Amino acid sequence: MNAAYPKRSLDVEKIRGDFPILKLQVNGKPLVYLDNAASSQMPQAVIDRIVRYQSEEHSNIHRAVHYLSELATKEFEEARVKVQKFINAKESREVIFTRGTTEAINLVMHGYGRAFIGRGDEIIISGLEHHANIVPWQMLAEEKGAVLRVIPMNDAGELLIDEFEALFNAKTKFLALTHVSNALGTINPVKQMVAFAHKHGVPVLLDGAQAAPHQVLDVQELDCDFYAFSGHKMCGPTGIGVLYGKAQMLEKMQPYQGGGDMILSVTFEKTTYNVIPAKFEAGTPPIMAAIALGAAIDYLQSIGMANIEAYEHELLAYATEQVSSMPGVRVIGTAKHKAAVMSFEIKGVHPHDVGTILNSEGIAIRTGHHCAQPVMQRFHVPATARASFAFYNTKSEIDKLVVGIRKVQEMFS
Ligand code: C6P
């Protein structure tokens, strides 16, 4: 495990001081930022790292012998090693930099799915997936004549494990599953589900967009074949994400895009491909963003992922208790194991109006279908209001959310 950080409670006021944006006033009120599942905020250390890179280190990488190119290459590859250690991958070549979770999943669909999934084969996904882990598999199924099978859930938003197991048969070729649901916060029992899939010889991709920012990760312990996540949800910049893949899987896959670093040699007759990870990093990669993601990982680890997880769990429990005891408010997604996401609806008020009124109080939440329309359909709602927490949020911010919800109810009563 890579959780070797001392267990301690967080000094949240000190941590908040690291985030310049948290000092903002919005509509004359102090910003209460509860939209972390969409994108988290950036600490000064990461902002400073971006400025230093752009002011003193920037160049293209892997292409020249001059000082700046060698420096940028070294920093970029060191960022890869930071990611490797953060997720406890066996080797740094198992870490592919992508633009985000969406691109990482699409890479697997193209590189693995198009090569190894054919007519009549079955791909299992779950009813909890974000569109990024539905649509690519649907596109593949359409192209190949394969079939999408969906794991159902109960009214709490927990996957039905018996039904999951019953989906497997000789035609099952792939499992693509979210680690944590972005719409409901459910944490899936992924280790157990990966083990079951492997018993049937089925490889597994885990969508870790909502897990990587909130908990200790160990891809070797999970034993997943692929793991995807985004930098901008874990204090890094947009435009950078990670695909972890077991080396033996990545090696047998087809490249996703052609050009730049992914070649070994090119003639008009034939191109030979580079080894991993370069094989999947065509063109100039997001160098600055990768280095900034490395700085974000340093920052998160200085706090400790286990400490972050414990603190956010406390926040979620507090928020759930406060909000679910309010008359006329329903929390949607009541799984036993949840991460820092709370979806809710206020009786008689459209979530969009909830978001607008809370915004007038300086409170940022997300409203809508959260790019998870099948989850909305399962709960028979067009949309939800969603508060999502980070380790820099406080119980007093949750109190402000509760006051805001009361204000919404008063305005609509
Ligand atoms: N969810 C949310 O507000 P990208 O956009 O590629 O960084 O991440 C896509 C993605 C994939 N899987 C899950 C589980 C996600 O939550 C997300 C992004 C954001 O919930 C924006 S839609």
Task: Please state the domain extents for the chain.
Answer: 12-30+304-408, 47-302
The finding on whether 364 has its CB within 6 A of some atom of ligand 1 is no
Domain 12-30+304-408 in CATH 3.90.1150.10? The answer is yes
DSSP state of 92: G
What are the residue numbers of the active site?
A: 371
Q: Rounded distance, CA 276 to CA 92, Å?
A: 10
Distance (Å) of CA 73 to CA 91, 92, 201, 284: 18, 14, 38, 12
Q: How far is the CA of 39 from the centre of ligand 1 (A)?
A: 9
Three-state secondary-structure class, residue 105: helix
Q: Do residues 386 and 365 lie in contact, with contact meaning Cβ atoms separated by under 8 Å?
A: yes
Domain 12-30+304-408 identical in fold to domain 47-302: no
Q: In ligand 1, which atom is closest to the CA atom of 183?
A: 20
Q: Which residues pair with 289 in a beta bridge?
A: none
Count of CB atoms situated within 10 Å of the CB of 248: 9
For atom 1 of ligand 1, which residue has the closest CA? 38
Q: Is the peptide bond before 286 cis (omega within 30 degrees of 0)?
A: no
- Are 148 and 141 in contact by the 8 Å Cβ rule? The answer is yes
Contact 140, 122 (CB under 8 A): no
| Cα 68 to ligand 1 centre (Å) | 34
Would the CB of 130 count as within 6 Å of ligand 1? yes
3-state class of 13 per DSSP? helix
Task: Give the DSSP H or E segment for 189.
Answer: none
Indicate the top mutation candidate among 35, 103, 108, 182 to test ligand 1's pocket, ranked by most ligand atoms within 8 A of CB.
Answer: 182
CA 348 to chain centre: 32
Distance CA 76, CA 62 (A): 10
For residue 341, the CA-to-ligand 1 centroid distance in Å is: 13
pTM of the model: 0.97
Cβ of 209 below 6 Å from ligand 1: yes
Ligand 1 binding pocket mutation candidate from 371, 386, 389 (most atoms within 8 A of CB): 371
Name the CATH topology of 47-302. Aspartate Aminotransferase; domain 2 (3.40.640)
- The alpha carbon of 100 and the centre of ligand 1 are apart by a number of angstroms equal to 9
pLDDT per residue rounded down to tens, the chain (413 residues): 344 445 668 999 999 999 999 999 999 999 999 999 999 999 999 999 999 999 999 999 998 999 999 999 999 999 999 999 999 999 999 999 999 999 999 999 999 999 999 999 999 999 999 999 999 999 999 999 999 999 999 999 999 999 999 999 999 999 999 999 999 999 999 999 999 999 999 999 999 999 999 999 999 999 999 999 999 999 999 999 999 999 999 999 999 999 988 999 999 999 999 999 999 999 999 999 999 999 999 999 999 999 999 999 999 999 999 999 999 999 999 999 999 999 999 999 999 999 999 999 999 999 999 999 999 999 999 999 999 999 999 999 999 999 999 999 999 98
